[in-house]
Structures are given as C-alpha cells and as structure tokens.
C-alpha cells in the first residue's frame, strides 16, 4: 500500500502536527505553572477599588488603625505622628489605649481638609474618640490622637 501525498496534503499534516504539539506544550506549562498554594484574602493581599468615597476611606483608615491598636499596639504606636511621639512613649500610649474604648469603628462625624499639601481625615467615633489621619498617599498616613 503506497500512499501518494501531494504538497497540499503534506502542508495540512504539518500544520495539524504543529497545532497539536502547541496544545500539548501549552497544557503542560499551564499545569506546572501553578504552585498549588492558595491564599486566603486578608488586609495584606487585597485591594480596594479605584474609586472610594471619602466616608468609605475614613472608615477604612479608622478600622485599619483600630485593628492595629487591638492586635499590635507597638505597630499602632509607630504610626503615630512625630508630634504625638514627642509627648508620648510606648508605655504611655499603651496606658492611653487601655483607658479608651476602641471596639467600635462606627464613625459619628468626620471632616476632611487639606493643609500644607497633606490631606487630613478628622474623625470622631461613636465612643467619643477623636483621631486624625494625616495622609501622604493612599494608606500612607500618620495618626494624631486627642484626649
């Protein structure tokens, strides 16, 4: 049995072979490219949408900072503005937060203003805490606390 292939038939066979090899290679790399690690969403690996209202941004600042106060007070202290750190060391800060209720992140009122090129979020929560975020960019801020 002799098969007589024409140039057109050979071209079609070569083309089919190339497509099949490409599919096999693509499938192989797709299966081997994933590490098998799944990440749970948390504040370190999620992002917010490009458009956030001012009240939502104020809420994000407040809840993020209160979370630090409740879980890592030394990191919360490091975010304090230098003007506050001059007046308060870490132990004084710990004493301050132990005497105030930072359990609720519900905002009672807030205002936003700009001064010297920085945006300030001046926030009062429902527990009558007064806190201010001096922003240098999105989620880059220092904190000013008031008694």
**Per-residue pLDDT reduced to its tens digit, 115-142:** 988 999 999 999 999 999 999 877 789 9
CA torsion, ordered 87, 100, 57, 83, to nearest 10 deg:
0
> Which residue range is the domain that position 112 belongs to?
54-146
The pLDDT of residue 51: 75
The pLDDT of residue 105: 86
- Taking CA atoms, 132 is separated from 13, 47, 50, 69, 115, in Å, by 71, 23, 23, 15, 13
Claim: this prediction has a pTM higher than 0.75: no
Residue 49 has pLDDT above 60, yes or no: no
Domain count, the chain: 1
24 within a domain of the structure (yes/no): no
Backbone angles phi, psi at 133, to 5 degrees: -110, 120
The pLDDT of residue 10: 81
The pLDDT of residue 44: 62
85 within a domain of the structure (yes/no): yes
Per residue in 111-123, is it b (16+ CB within 10 Å) or e — as a string? eeeeeeeebbbbb
């Amino acid at each position: 049995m002799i098969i007589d292939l024409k140039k057109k038939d050979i071209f079609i066979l070569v083309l089919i072979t190339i497509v099949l090899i490409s599919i096999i290679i693509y499938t192989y790399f797709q299966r081997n490219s994933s590490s098998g690690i799944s990440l749970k969403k948390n504040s370190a690996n999620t992002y917010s949408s490009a458009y956030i209202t001012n009240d939502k941004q104020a809420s994000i600042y407040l809840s993020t900072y209160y979370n630090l106060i409740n879980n890592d007070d030394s990191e919360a202290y490091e975010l304090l503005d230098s003007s506050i750190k001059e007046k308060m060391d870490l132990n004084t800060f710990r004493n301050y937060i132990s005497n105030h209720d930072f359990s609720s992140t519900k905002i009672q009122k807030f205002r936003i203003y700009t001064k010297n090129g920085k945006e300030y979020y001046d926030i009062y929560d429902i527990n009558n805490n007064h806190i201010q975020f001096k922003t240098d960019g999105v989620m880059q801020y220092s904190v000013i606390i008031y008694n």
